[in-house]
């Protein structure tokens, strides 16, 4: 096992599970603080930890609290992340700042991946990845999630890439960065709210065991970086593309009108899509995180069997 980096504070439960080689799954916290409204955000966070436990894995929600990177949180910590007015959205470059200033920070996919890897965790469950934004040819808005996927050895389970982003350019960038993109149980690349997109699955595997074998093959060869696992939203919870695309277009237009840019773009768009859909997109978002947690637990179990 990897010795956790000394700057991290692991909960006793997570430390114990890692030390004895039991399955552990990392969870991000930006989805709590900046991705969903209260109280659904904290309810989701607690529920997803329960799903991981039921699936045989120890949950390790990751955030920076009072300047300390924490791996594995208590209920009170989740409540703080869900309600505190000054929780920064912390991507990789923000980590040193929140640590030096003793602030609270909710970690994105990029920073959660890095902290998970520093703790020795290899499986991470989230909702949606950041990527190349539409119009990136002029805005240069490309999420640091992508560069981190290119360099840190963690399997990241998501529901694909939403069409607030340029899905095609995001997939091209992942290819350039050497990140395998494997779709679980489907021939289509999923677009978060919907099971399909205009793109086919770059790779397909139908079981957690096969995905774990791919992780092992990649890292045994010394190929660094993530394995991106895209898990399509369950059929019953999907919002058809023609319905969600109109709402996304409206939200994107408003984003431009208000001159919103940088790290505020994704939270703004997610919040507006929840409002414009009358709350339906939030229910879909929660359903897909639940489904990702079920797959992530199975993947962590398969990984720890062979590790």
Q: Interface residues with ligand PSU (CB under 6 A)?
A: 28, 30-31, 35, 91, 108-109, 127-128, 130, 143-145, 263, 266, 270
Cβ 111 vs Cβ 150: under 8 Å: no
Q: Which is nearer to ligand PSU, 30 or 196 (CB)?
A: 30
121 close to 60: Cβ distance less than 8 angstroms: yes
Q: Of 120 and 130, which CB lies nearer to ligand PSU in the complex structure?
A: 130
Does residue 148 touch Mn ion according to CB under 5 A?
no
SS3 62: strand
CB of 124 to ligand PSU, least distance (A): 11
Closest approach of Mn ion to the CB of residue 157, in Å: 22
Q: Catalytic: 28?
A: yes
Contact 58, 22 (CB under 8 A): yes
- Give catalytic status of residue 243 as yes or no: no
Closest by Cα among 151, 191, 187, 185 to 168: 191
Maximum distance among all Cα pairs of the chain, rounded to whole angstroms? 53
Q: Choose among 32, 210, 229: nearest CA to 123.
A: 229
| Residue selected from 28, 77, 141, 148 as contacting Mn ion according to rule CB under 5 A | 141
Binding partner of residue 28 among Mn ion, ligand PSU, none, CB cut-off 5 to 8 Å per kind? ligand PSU
162, 218, 238, 263: which one is catalytic? 162
Orientation of helix 265-276 relative to helix 280-306, angle to 10°: 120
Query: Judged by CB, which is closer to Mn ion: 145, or 238?
Result: 145
Q: Is 145 in the site for Mn ion (CB under 5 A)?
A: no
| Residue of this chain nearest to ligand PSU (CB atom) | 35
């Amino acid at each position: 096992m990897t010795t956790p980096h000394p700057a991290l504070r692991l909960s006793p439960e997570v430390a114990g599970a890692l030390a004895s080689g039991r399955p552990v799954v990392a969870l991000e916290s930006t989805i709590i603080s900046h991705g969903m409204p209260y109280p659904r955000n904290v309810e989701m966070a607690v529920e997803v930890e329960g799903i991981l436990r039921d699936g045989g894995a120890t949950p390790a929600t990751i955030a920076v609290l009072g300047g300390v990177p924490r791996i594995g949180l208590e209920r009170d910590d989740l409540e703080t992340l869900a309600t505190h007015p000054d929780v920064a959205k912390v991507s990789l470059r923000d980590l040193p700042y929140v640590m030096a200033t003793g602030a609270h920070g909710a970690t994105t996919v990029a920073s959660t991946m890095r902290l998970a890897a520093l703790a020795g965790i290899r499986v991470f469950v989230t909702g949606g990845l950041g990527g190349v934004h539409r119009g990136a040819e002029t805005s240069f808005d490309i999420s640091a999630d992508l560069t981190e996927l290119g360099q840190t050895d963690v399997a990241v389970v998501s529901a694909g890439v939403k069409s607030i982003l340029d899905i095609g350019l995001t997939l091209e960038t992942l290819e350039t960065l050497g990140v395998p993109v494997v779709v679980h149980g489907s021939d289509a690349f999923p677009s978060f709210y919907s099971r399909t997109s205009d793109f086919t699955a770059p790779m397909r595997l139908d079981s957690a065991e096969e995905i774990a074998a791919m992780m092992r093959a990649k890292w045994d060869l010394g190929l660094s970086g993530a394995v991106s696992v895209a898990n399509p939203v369950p059929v019953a919870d999907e919002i058809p593309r023609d319905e969600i695309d109109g709402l996304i277009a409206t939200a994107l237009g408003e984003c431009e009108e208000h001159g919103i840019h940088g790290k505020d773009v994704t939270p703004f768009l997610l919040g507006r899509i929840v409002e414009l859909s009358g709350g339906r997109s939030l229910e879909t978002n929660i359903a897909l995180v639940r489904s990702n947690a079920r797959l992530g637990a199975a993947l962590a179990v398969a990984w720890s069997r062979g590790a």
